Amino acid sequence: MTVTENEARPAPGARPEPVAHGGVRLTGVTKVFGRGATATTALQDVDLDVRPGEFVTIVGASGCGKSTLLSLVAGLEQVTTGTLEVGGRVALMFQEATLLPWLTAAQNVALALKLRGVARAERTPQAHALLERVRLGAYADKRPHELSGGMRQRVALARVLAQDASVVCMDEPLGALDAMTRDHMHDEIERVAGEAGLTVLFVTHNVREAVRLGDRAVLMGSSPGRVVHTEHIDLPRPRRMEDPEVARRAGSLTAALREDVARHVG
Amino acid sequence: MSVDTATRPVEPPADTAARSRALSALWAGTWPKVGAVVAFVAIWQAVVLSGWRPEFVLPAPLTVAQTLGDLVREPEFWQAIGTTLRRALVGFAFAIAIGTVVGIAVSRFRPVRAAIGSLITGLQTMPSIVWFPLAILLFGLNEQAITFVVILGAAPSIANGIISGIDHVPPAFTRLGTVLGAGSVDLYRHFVIPAALPSYVAGLNQGWAFAWRSLMAGELLVIIEAKPSLGSRLSFAQDFNNAPELIAYMVVILVLGMLADTVFSSQSRRMRRRRGLAVD
């Protein structure tokens, strides 16, 4: 567990008990980049409590601090004020699969195992088993450029599993994929995260995708980035992007998002 | 022709087809080169026939070919090639070691870059023959003077190759390394160095070319009696007005340089293909 506390302040509503394994808790988190006149507040006073195994989608216009939030949780950035607690190891998945082009799919996964300290003899069989879990067993020896965009993201997903993390931050991981592949990846991420009991923080600018995947959708507003609305999505799974109920819930979220944008523009 | 040919499948067996495809690909790559050599020899022959220079100064291609045929039967010829290649490899090996260490130091430590970063590029543009007077003063007319200049000729290119390779490592790779929990040694070993490799190999290739040029300059200037080398044989051929031998040695030097370049470029092509990069 990692606790980052940059300023001792009695956060209102802060619970004293530590966050559970797989949980993520942000209490009054503010992130400021730069100092003095050029300082920009990327996040202001964000409270978010994620249960272990919960799938939380984070939506908002560009520049609302979605990616900053993930960077904080992943430990790439430090909070300016407030408290961030993460129960366990965090893995990160980017918009680009970022596979190393000089390694095969299996070697890319095996490198994550190696850096986690898995013994040499176990790496190759484990890497192959992980690729089987994302249904890429037959492509273990292919290099990234021989794989399609969706396949590359599935290798990245296998690599996330190789990190043995309890929390996974996904920063628009499907943004570069075509609609068909994207639908397929929704099923894949949902299935794999469910099987592994992963807590997922999934950033997207696509409201419908947020409703399709999330147990909860967190709406973020911009300048400064903050949580403006949280929606529990109690629709039964499996869901589809084209389900009327998904569309309806996405519609109401879009309305809330528009309101926030209008408030800032107007 | 027998009667049963009609019952056989019309298409040739797969391995024959593959072999003929490989042969035609080989031919497609070879005929322009062969054509260029033929054209060059024809022009050469035409200039000789025109009588622009007497034959003992500019011999005909066939004369040179015959001289080369005689040379390859002499042990001194092979001794000369041996000496030159050994010098090239020793000098190049030192240049790789020095260039790599300096390159990594420059890319890693900001003050080192500020101190010698532009100096390396400066050295790269400096003709290495300029170093010889100093080298001869420092070491005398011997092997060390040659090796010194070969190293100075090749090391800057090798250092620059690794510096630009490391400078252009995609930030996404180093970020990935951090996310996967790599320490600074693992970050270099698994992310930075492999990503910089194509540029490093390009630097090695250029470094080799500079090493080879410096070596030839050195062997023409620093002649060690007891050790026949390609450069010294070339110089003797000039002294004795032996034009056919002179040109024959030039052909040998050209071919050796091209062979080395083939090794580097095939390695570089293989690496680029494996990474899905454009191969020209």
Kindly determine whether residue B180 and residue A145, on different chains, have CB atoms separated by under 8 Å: no
Displacement of CA A156 from its chain's centroid (Å): 13
Smallest Cα–Cα separation from B193: which of B217, B209, B174? B174
In percent, the amount of chain B with pLDDT more than 90 equals 66
Give the domain ranges of chain B.
61-274
Kindly determine whether residue A92 and residue B179, on different chains, have CB atoms separated by under 8 Å: yes
**What are the distances in angstroms from CA A109 to CA A134, A170, A173, B70?**
12, 17, 17, 59
Q: Would you call A94 an interface residue with chain B, using a CB distance cutoff of 8 Å?
A: yes
**Average pLDDT, stretch A10-27?**
75
Residue of A nearest to B271 (CA): A102
d(CA B245, CA B232): 12
Say if residue B2's pLDDT is above 70.
no
Please tell me whether the interface predicted TM-score (ipTM) of this complex is above 0.85. no
Answer whether A93's CB lies under 8 Å from A156's CB. yes
How crowded is residue A256: how many other Cβ atoms within 10 Å of its Cβ? 15
Contacts of A105 in chain B (CB under 8 A): none
Kindly determine whether residue A101 and residue B276, on different chains, have CB atoms separated by under 8 Å: yes
**Average pLDDT, stretch A22-47?**
91
Nearest to A98 among B172, B194, B271 (CB): B172
Smallest Cα–Cα separation from A95: which of A163, A27, A156, A160? A156
- pTM above threshold 0.80: no
Residue of B nearest to A141 (CA): B274
Q: Per residue in A45-92, pLDDT tens?
A: 999 999 999 999 999 877 788 889 999 999 889 999 999 999 999 999
Answer whether A29's CB lies under 8 Å from A46's CB. yes
The CATH number corresponding to B61-274 among 3.40.640.10, 3.30.465.10, 3.10.50.30, 1.10.3720.10 equals: 1.10.3720.10
